[in-house]
Structure 1
Amino acid sequence: MSAPVTVLGLGPMGQAMVRTLLAAGHPVTVWNRTPGRATEVVAAGARLADTPADAVAASDLVILSLTDYQAMYDILGPAALAGRTLVNLSSDTPDRTREGAAWAARHGARFLTGGVMNPAPMVGTDAAYVYYSGPADLLEAHRDALATIGAPRYLGEDPGLAQLMYQANLDVFLTSLAALMHATALLETAGVTATASMPELLQTLNGTAEMLEVGENPAAQLEAGEHPGHLSTVTMMGATADHIVSASEAADVDSGLPAAVRAYYTWARERGHGADNWTRIIDAMRPVSPARSAVGDRDPSPRGSSPSRRG
């Protein structure tokens, strides 16, 4: 028989994990603040525990799929955690994740951080993967069970790394979704329906990775600290950003998002980097060092300097 697993939290993601673990032959114990959410997974073979402590006692491996890390403290405070492995797949900040790892250690538990990089319907599929950080031996000890959720991608011992990678991916994802909605709203002002515009916009979104690979290697440039402006310069991209802001304002579409993007190109252009590659804008986003700040090398004005016209 496969190793028993406990899952705390039965939102769509938690339920998907339970179904996947059950299908792989793992006995699964569940608990949720709203017991009614357990109905379907119990019908599929999971056991509903009366309390969090009972759920934790049922398995060495305890997976948490909660709103945030505070929910872990609220739920597991009274539970006996000594000797258990906690795998927290909830979203929060890297610092709160590190605090959570220290909290678990004080209670005698071992701790892995995880970030699930797919929506609930994709859990357990070949396309699913999960970032992990924390003790490497802990991941290996429970790899069989965790791999049923998604392919494990281990990042290192620092418990905050998986959360940071997860948030960085969502940074790209959420910004892209906002841009997609902004572009759709912009086209609507000319009578172009979402049905007509979405395929065109998604073509650009889907092709971005391929475009970056043609003639550019932004990752290598960033690591080398070089920004050769062979193709897409700060000046060229900044001019395009200006045009998007102007088009938005003329159409009475909220300009906050494109104005925020424009601010980074303006920052780089004003510091004499107009001929550099567009990757130069990263310097406006990086942490401010005391030395750079002292010589005026970097003005943090792009951060929050471009409010929407709607206030």
Structure 2
Amino acid sequence: MTDNAPAPGTTPTPEPTPLTLLGTGAMGTALARTWLAAGHPLTVWNRTPARAEPLAAEGATVAASAADAVAANRLVVVCLLDDASVGEALEGADLSGRDLVNLTTGTPAQGRSRAAWAEARGARFLDAGIMAVPPMIGHAESGAYVFYSGSPELFKEHGETLAVPAGTRYLGADPGFAALHDVALLSAMDGMFAGVLHAFALIRREDIAPTDFAPLLVSWLGAMAPAVHTAAEQLESGDYGKDVVSNLAMQVAGNATLLATAEEQGVSAELLTPYTTLMERWLAAGHGDEDTTGMIELLDLRQ
């Protein structure tokens, strides 16, 4: 038995999977450092070489070209600016036999198109959506995770490696689902922050400290968040009158106060009016006794 052989009756510890990372911006660098810290041999490439050099001091191999980086390892992770930059970076690379994981933010259609593109070149493919900002990467307590969709075989084989920087949530074989979930959650976040910004604008010229108001805002938004579950149940049942707490007619009536207060405070209501206008349209269509969930029908352009 050699010095490196496992003791009889024990299971050998698997060697960390080597991988390639294309893109060493803020997110790519955070991912790279986490994989390096976990002992994964890592080859990196960046369009601007100087941005990849600091990782060399931490143990990464810096490739001269994207094609060289792809050739170095079977598992290739891409974290670039957009879908076009992914195509440009991989244009001259041989993808045959590679496992390509695309962490670049894109649309569902781009995910599906890129999957077909990769598979036509002999690669297995996963698309992804990162639900984190760079400082959250590598810290389990941060709650960071990544949506993945596409090749189930690829995810099964490399899931543990992909889980090193952040948690993983596999959504199935449709390569568009990761981007769809990502954008849906980000869209909800944008709507929330629009409301937050309007709320701070209302108090801005008064003797109210934003830092005193912030805990009230966080508490209120947290208390309202479970209404998401009610909306989901209404959507699945098709019954927008189920478990209504504050019906549409009541909320539209209350909107007058919201808009009047904005005017009194000298605050533009442009963050509110798209939503209040939608409410008025749905009320005019005869849905005053229902919840606001039914307004989704006005958003569906494919009906």
TM-score (norm 2): 0.89
One-letter code aligned to 2:98? R
Contact kept in structure 2, 1:235 and 1:275, CA below 8 Å: yes
The DSSP-based 3-state class of the residue aligned with 1:80 is coil
Tell me, yes or no, if structure 1 residue 180 matches structure 2 residue 207.
Answer: no
Cα offsets for 1:49-84 (capped at 9, x unmatched): 111011111111111111111010111101111111
Contact kept in structure 2, 1:234 and 1:280, CA below 8 Å: no
The CA distance in 2 between the partners of 1:81 and 1:288, in whole Å, is 37
Contact kept in structure 2, 1:241 and 1:261, CA below 8 Å: no
Structure 2 counterpart of 1:242: 256
Cα offsets for 1:217-276 (capped at 9, x unmatched): 321121001122631211122233332223223323221110011012111110111111
Unaligned runs of 5+ in 2: 1-14
Give 2:53's match in structure 1, choosing from 39, 54, 57. 39
Structure 2 counterpart of 1:302: none
Tell me, yes or no, if structure 1 residue 168 matches structure 2 residue 184.
Answer: yes
The DSSP-based 3-state class of the residue aligned with 1:222 is helix
The CA distance in 2 between the partners of 1:25 and 1:241, in whole Å, is 56
Q: Which moved more, 1:276-285 or 1:61-70?
A: 276-285
1:74-153 matches, within 5 Å, as: 74-126=88-140, 127-153=143-169
The CA distance in 2 between the partners of 1:191 and 1:95, in whole Å, is 49
Contact kept in structure 2, 1:5 and 1:63, CA below 8 Å: yes
Unaligned runs of 5+ in 1: 290-311
Structure index of larger Rg: 2
Q: Tell me the C-alpha RMSD between the 2 structures.
A: 1.7
The CA distance in 1 between the partners of 2:234 and 2:21, in whole Å, is 43
Q: Which moved more, 1:152-161 or 1:120-129?
A: 120-129
Structure 2 counterpart of 1:13: 27
Alpha-carbon offset, residue 208 of structure 1: 2.6
Tell me, yes or no, if structure 1 residue 274 matches structure 2 residue 288.
Answer: yes
Percent sequence identity is: 39
1:254-265 matches, within 5 Å, as: 254-265=268-279
The DSSP-based 3-state class of the residue aligned with 1:115 is strand
The CA distance in 2 between the partners of 1:71 and 1:20, in whole Å, is 24
Contact kept in structure 2, 1:155 and 1:162, CA below 8 Å: yes
The DSSP-based 3-state class of the residue aligned with 2:92 is coil
The CA distance in 2 between the partners of 1:10 and 1:124, in whole Å, is 15
TM-score (norm 1): 0.87
Contact kept in structure 2, 1:129 and 1:153, CA below 8 Å: yes
Give 1:70's match in structure 2, choosing from 81, 84, 87. 84
The DSSP-based 3-state class of the residue aligned with 1:149 is coil
Alpha-carbon offset, residue 108 of structure 1: 1.7
The CA distance in 1 between the partners of 2:92 and 2:209, in whole Å, is 54
1:168-247 matches, within 5 Å, as: 168-210=184-226, 212=227, 217-228=230-241, 230-247=244-261
Cα offsets for 1:162-203 (capped at 9, x unmatched): 100000010111221222112111210334332232222222
The CA distance in 1 between the partners of 2:256 and 2:24, in whole Å, is 46
The CA distance in 1 between the partners of 2:98 and 2:38, in whole Å, is 21
Structure 1 counterpart of 2:170: 154
Alpha-carbon offset, residue 282 of structure 1: 1.7
Alpha-carbon offset, residue 4 of structure 1: 0.7
Contact kept in structure 2, 1:53 and 1:80, CA below 8 Å: yes
The alpha-carbon distance between structure 1 residues 78 and 285, as it changes in their structure 2 partners (threshold 3 A), is same
The DSSP-based 3-state class of the residue aligned with 1:87 is strand
The CA distance in 1 between the partners of 2:301 and 2:82, in whole Å, is 26
The CA distance in 2 between the partners of 1:230 and 1:152, in whole Å, is 35
One-letter code aligned to 1:275? D
Contact kept in structure 2, 1:241 and 1:258, CA below 8 Å: no
The CA distance in 1 between the partners of 2:250 and 2:197, in whole Å, is 24
